[in-house]
Amino acid sequence: MRLINASTLKLKSFIDDSQLPKYAILSHTWGAGEVTFDDLRRNRPSELEHMPGYQKIRLAALQTLRDNLNYVWVDTCCIDKTSSAELSESINSMFRWYAKAEICYAYLEDIQEEALAKARWFTRGWTLQELLAPDKLHFYDRGWKFIGDKIYLEPKIARITGIDIEALDSGNKLGDYSVATRMSWAASRTTTRAEDMAYCLMGIFDVNMPLLYGEGGLKAFTRLQQVVLEDTSDCSVFAWVSTEDHAQLRLNKTGHLLRNHNQGGGSIYAKTPKDFRESSGVRSSHSGEIIFTSIGVKLELPMFSLSHLTTHLTDSRDQDFFVVPDGNLLRRLDLENGDKEADAQAGEPRAYPDSITLDELLTSNRTAGG
């Protein structure tokens, strides 16, 4: 890990974590004129002073000294991004680095104090872990004016991000929250590179995987879900609704929940974190044995008929989620443990609907059932 000496603005490497001094860390959004590792290593301040990124480094270094610390970490210049091995190791370590920092400075360079909700910082994928990992997080506006710390701003941050206050408290373990809930925290965030939408979430789930830039966002996010499922056995990873299908679910006149068979699909994994935008209240649901094969995954999940859906959801709506796979998909499944009625119903072609909320679903089923 490299750190910047806050007094000299020179880089210093630390091979072993046991050698690390106490340090501050900067959280920000990238823009034009960022200072790279090579820029800072050449140590020519006269060439850097005109760069906007250099001003961020200076402001962070000055604040570090005010807080009686000697070193600060800044992602733009403390990682040699020309080395794919170093970049991969750094991204896999980043959540831990933010968690170990004595203090994190969130620099919201596009806003004044009163416009917190408009900060670009709350829309970026990488800053999610930078919000959740540090014990001590201070926010500064474009003039480096102190806005407040995370504890003071928690109610506002919760409203802006949709993340529960309890989850924002770094004293709580993120593992206490379901995979689906944690995925939902990233649903409204974006990254410049498609693959980074998966890579930026590795720390949130405490998993590691190789970085394969060029594989595309879909493959990267699928790999992430597979790794997370293997690590947690939490089947809430399947509690998602695709952006294509979200507005096309409803009940038909007989009370059956249906999906449009013309919609794309074919994978049990979500395409992007956006598919989890309605999953914030889903709790963990652990399967039995999960077996990963060369063609997919084998796992055990409860299956129940739609005629019993009302009772199940009424009794357990806060604890469980349910999945209604497409009939075309189920026709290709070997329902070894399903009864003949379920097997036959699963194979029926599905014609389809618009949208429905859980409350509307329950109301419709109660009405249909008398």
**Phi–psi pair at 124, nearest 5 degrees:** -100, 145
pLDDT reading at 258 higher than 70 = no
pLDDT reading at 356 higher than 90 = no
Please give the average per-residue pLDDT across 289-293, as a whole number.
78
Q: Give the pLDDT confidence score for residue 299 in this predicted structure.
A: 75
Q: Helix or strand or coil: residue 208?
A: coil
Pairwise pLDDT comparison (246 vs 329), residue with the higher score: 246
pLDDT reading at 66 higher than 50 = yes
Average predicted confidence (pLDDT) for the chain: 80
Please give the average per-residue pLDDT across 349-366, as a whole number.
41
Residue ranges per structural domain of the chain = 2-172, 175-370
Encoded amino acid at 253, one letter = K
Nearest alpha-carbon partner for 158 in 122, 129, 124, 134: 122
Please give the average per-residue pLDDT across 101-123, as a whole number.
93
Please give the average per-residue pLDDT across 184-207, as a whole number.
97
pLDDT reading at 343 higher than 60 = no
Q: Per-residue pLDDT tens for 3-59?
A: 999 999 999 999 888 889 999 999 999 998 999 999 998 877 778 888 989 999 999
Q: Give the pLDDT confidence score for residue 245 in this predicted structure.
A: 58
Which own/partner contact pairs does 239-244 have at CB distance under 8 Å and 24+ positions apart?
A: 239/178, 239/180, 239/276, 239/279, 239/282, 239/285, 239/321, 239/323, 240/180, 240/183, 240/270, 240/275, 240/276, 240/279, 241/275, 241/278, 242/270, 242/271, 242/275, 243/271, 243/272, 243/274, 243/275
pLDDT band at residue 200 using 50, 70 and 90 as cut-offs: very high
pLDDT band at residue 302 using 50, 70 and 90 as cut-offs: low
Q: Give the pLDDT confidence score for residue 296 in this predicted structure.
A: 76
* 76-90, 146-160, 245-259, 349-363: the lowest-pLDDT one: 349-363
Please give the average per-residue pLDDT across 63-75, as a whole number.
98
Predicted structure pTM score: 0.79
Query: What does the buried/exposed string (b/e) look like for 188-221 if buried means 16 or more CB atoms within 10 Å of the residue's CB?
Result: ebebeebbbbbbbbbbbbebebebeeeeebbebb
* 12-21, 80-89, 266-275, 323-332: the lowest-pLDDT one: 323-332
Q: Helix or strand or coil: residue 182?
A: helix
Please give the average per-residue pLDDT across 236-242, as a whole number.
88
pLDDT band at residue 220 using 50, 70 and 90 as cut-offs: very high
